[in-house]
A and B are shown apart, each in its own frame.
Chain A
Amino acid sequence: MQPTAWRAVLPAVVATSVLFGGALTGAIRTSVAPLPRQSADLDAWGRVLADPRFHEAAVFTVVLAVIATAVSVALALPIAALLRDRRGVQVLVTLPVLLPHLLVAVVVVLWLGPGGLVDRFIADGPQVVRAPSGLGIVLVYVLKEVPFLVLLLLAVWNDDVEQRVEMAATLGVGPLRALHRVVWPAVRAPLVLGATVVMAFVLGFLQVPAVVGPTDPVTVPVYAVEVTRVRGLAGQADAAVALLLASGFALLLAGLAAVVTRRLDGVRR
């Protein structure tokens, strides 16, 4: 069988390099010399790095990302185990994968926001939408990302893995031990990759915190929109700095995940 010539991958690589590379260089350029200014300086970097509101936003965003990812991963594994043989239910449970994040946020607002359905049943219930703890943001991401991780797990939790579980059971291995020794090695690498994507979503998406997040503290993308509105031209540079820092953190995280996945794959082999 002849492998496809390497030239075949060029159009996609060129398109990604030009557009994605262009976006990053454009953001870097804006961070030092927003249009129409011609001279470059690092004032925006100094301003953002010294801004206590940015520090708060960065810590808040990372904490939310860690919590939302950890909860999603913790729920995805048992749900995937439960749904393995139930095709019809799988379709319904994984429905949120097809839904835009903004739509899930709207549904959460209509249920749990002020004047929402739950508010009418429980008058003094806990605040979820716009809660300073970021509970609403975590809830939207958990609702949206657990099905994504379940789908990912179901793709690798195939009949081969299940046969090995059955074989382990006939050898007297208990279900928990089988989960740890047979299923976990098969699913952990894709789970780490999926968790990285989820974390990158939480770090970078604007629409969810804009709709259900608190106004103080804010997440980094909301901070970027805020400074653009308030600080004018300088705000564009500040927003670019904030978004570049968020991008850098997400890429660093992805690098770490790649190393972990490689190690896990190595262990499996």
Chain B
Amino acid sequence: MSIRGQRRARVTAVLLAVVTAGPLLVLPLRAAADVWRAPALLPQRFGTRGLDVVFSPGTNTLTAVTNSLVVAVATTLLALLLAWPAARWLATADTRHRAPVLVLLALPLLVPPLAIGAGLAEWFLRLGLTNSLPGLVLAHLVAVLPYVVVVLAPGFGPRVRTAEEAAATLGASRWQVLRLVSFPMLAPSLAVATLLGGLVSWSQYGSSLGVGRGVPMLPLVLEPFVGRDPQVAATLAMVFLAPALLALLATVRRTSR
């Protein structure tokens, strides 16, 4: 590519980045605008009304954030526990059953989350799990598990298995192999799987609506404000954005090293 072509490609790439990430800047601006009547291009008054409403007891934001966090952490931990051995098997098994098992584990990704939530609600109602955090964890697990398995599986490459075997041959116990060899070698995959699993659970809307309509969860608290009160919606959206932003910062720090 000529120098001119390279420069044009670089400018296009930067423009793309601005178009993709730039629109998010509207969130702090709208969140801080107490009065912003159309067609004014800038807010008439800045203030903290958005924060006041978001953190007033009637909005349930703190409960929703706590619930969403607790469910995301519990779901991700449970998914990691189940996915670790499954991913290991998928990476090493050499049987014709590998593909059908992978398809079975990925199937929930294709079905509307509301269908999963509504279908589970039928059972959870009998088991007393509707409108409860354990019920939400189980409902979110259906959506989170496939992502965690798919991200973890490539991590269990031959390099990891060889190192594990070498450690075992040298007399390391199973726990020592796990702690000193497997975990450190799989740390990057584990980090991505944890991050993705947590974010998928954090943003679950359909399954939360189906199983836990009565439990305040952040997406369910945010949605009604979108058409009604843009300032509150923008403020809540910033709270909703926080984990993704932290993840981005971690990625940038990692790639810039």
Contact = CB atoms under 8 A, between A and B. Distances in A.
Contact of A105 (B90, B119, B226): B226
Interface string A105-144: 1111111010101011101000000000000000000010
Interface string A183-223: 00000000000001100100111110011000000001100
Given A91-B255, A121-B41, A207-B206, A11 B114 contact: no
Most chain B beta carbons < 10 A, residue from A20, A95, A225, A250: A20
Contacts of A176: none
B112 A243 contact: yes
Interface residues of B, number: 88
Contacts of B240: 100, 102-103
B255 A247 contact: no
Contacts of A250: 110-112
B224 to A, nearest CB: 10
Contacts of B205: 100-102, 205-207
Contacts of B85: 4, 8-9, 11-12
Nearest to A243: B115
A93 interface: yes
A92 B20 contact: yes
Interface stretch (A42-50, A51-59, A82-90, A159-167): A82-90
Contacts, number: 261
B112 A247 contact: yes
Given A9-B86, A17-B104, A83 B206 contact: no
Contacts of B97: 6
Nearest to B103: A258
B48 interface: no
Interface of A: 1-6, 8-9, 11-13, 15-17, 19-20, 22-30, 35, 79, 82-83, 86-89, 91-93, 95-96, 98-103, 105-111, 113, 115, 117, 119-121, 123, 143, 147, 196-197, 200, 203-207, 210-211, 220-221, 224-225, 236, 239-240, 243-244, 246-247, 250-251, 253-254, 258
Interface of B: 9-10, 12-14, 16-17, 20-21, 23-24, 26-27, 30, 38-41, 81-83, 85-86, 88-90, 92-95, 97, 101, 103-105, 107-123, 125, 138-139, 141-142, 145-146, 149, 158, 161-162, 165, 199, 202-203, 205-206, 209, 219, 222-223, 226-227, 230, 233-234, 237, 240-241, 244, 247-248, 251-252, 255-256
3 closest residue pairs by CB, A with B: A204-B112, A100-B203, A26-B122
